[in-house]
Amino acid sequence: MITVLLPVYNGQKYVGYSIRSILRQSFEKFELLIVDDGSTDNTEKIIKSITDVRINYYKIEHSGLSAALNFGLQHARYDIIARMDADDLSLLQRLQLEYDYFVTQPENTILSCRYALFAGKKIIGVVNSPTDHESIKKRLLLHNEFTHSGIMYNKKFILENGGYRNVPFEDFELWLRLRNKARFTILPEVLSLVRLDYLSLARENIVKQYALIYHLLEEFYAGEDIFREFGIAGTQEEMIIRGWREYFFWGQGPRAVLLAEVSVKSSRQS
């Protein structure tokens, strides 16, 4: 049996679609555990309008995504957890294919799948992530290779290692923290659709996100042996990784924030 863990906050726009994509899975032996993080819109009404005995719904005081996820882990009925986000979609065979593979693997396995990006009714592109542990771990020095709506893991393993912390990009931070304890795997099949909501991708939000990622990775880049630990072979590859980090996250993150602040101060002074 699987617990599909779906946290949501003010997700009235898309949560119904996400729920139905889970209820229509070819794999039927699961509970859909929905943790409503204190929504103030019509999220609760929409969820309660969907009748299925596999749905278990909790509404908690608004505490943030990390707290909602940890609450869900504590209340999950089953050991195998499949993550789902409230604005994404799971394709029909997702749970079955992931489950069939997952039960053959060690308990420290963090499993995900390849995924497609979509907006409206159009597929924008497919993210062909690496599938093996070594390549995934190496890529974590730049970005998160996993989509939340494709993740499957063992509840006990995550809880024994502290669960989710109350930080930005809580999932990315968790994978970084588990880099030497977990075994990462991504199935080659596209099993998840990740929604691009352009209203939430405003330039200001992207800049802030890049700044947060830059600082999240800062402690790792400061370590003397960190590149060998992540499987980076030699000075040349290390310099390439550092260069991409500065290009993507400093140039468009902290540096962009700093320039914006200087611009605002200058305009005020003038």
Residue 201: partners with Cβ closer than 8 Å, 6 or more residues away:
none
Domain ranges of the chain: 2-197, 203-269
Strand partners, 7: 35
Q: Minimum mean pLDDT among 48-62, 76-90, 205-219: which range?
A: 205-219
Look up the CATH superfamily of 2-197: Spore Coat Polysaccharide Biosynthesis Protein SpsA; Chain A (3.90.550.10)
Contact 8, 35 (CB under 8 A): yes
Burial 179-218 (b: 16+ CB within 10 A, else e): beebebbbbebbbbbbbeeeeeeeeeeebbbbbbbbebbe
Scan for tokens 């003038």, then name that residue: 270
What angle (nearest 5°) sits at the alpha carbon of residue 88, between those of residues 159 and 31?
50
What integer is the mean pLDDT of 57-74? Answer: 97
Q: Minimum mean pLDDT among 8-12, 99-103, 153-157, 225-229: which range?
A: 225-229
First to last CA, the chain: 65
- pLDDT at residue number 234: 72
Q: Return the percentage of the chain with pLDDT > 70, whole number.
A: 89
Contact 28, 52 (CB under 8 A): no
The closest of 11, 85, 19 to 52, measured between CA atoms, is: 19
Assess whether pLDDT exceeds 60 at residue 258: no
- DSSP labels, 242-262: HHHHIIIIITTTHHHHHHHHH
What integer is the mean pLDDT of 246-270? Answer: 54
Assess whether pLDDT exceeds 90 at residue 264: no
Q: Return the percentage of the chain with pLDDT > 90, whole number.
A: 67
- pLDDT at residue number 162: 96
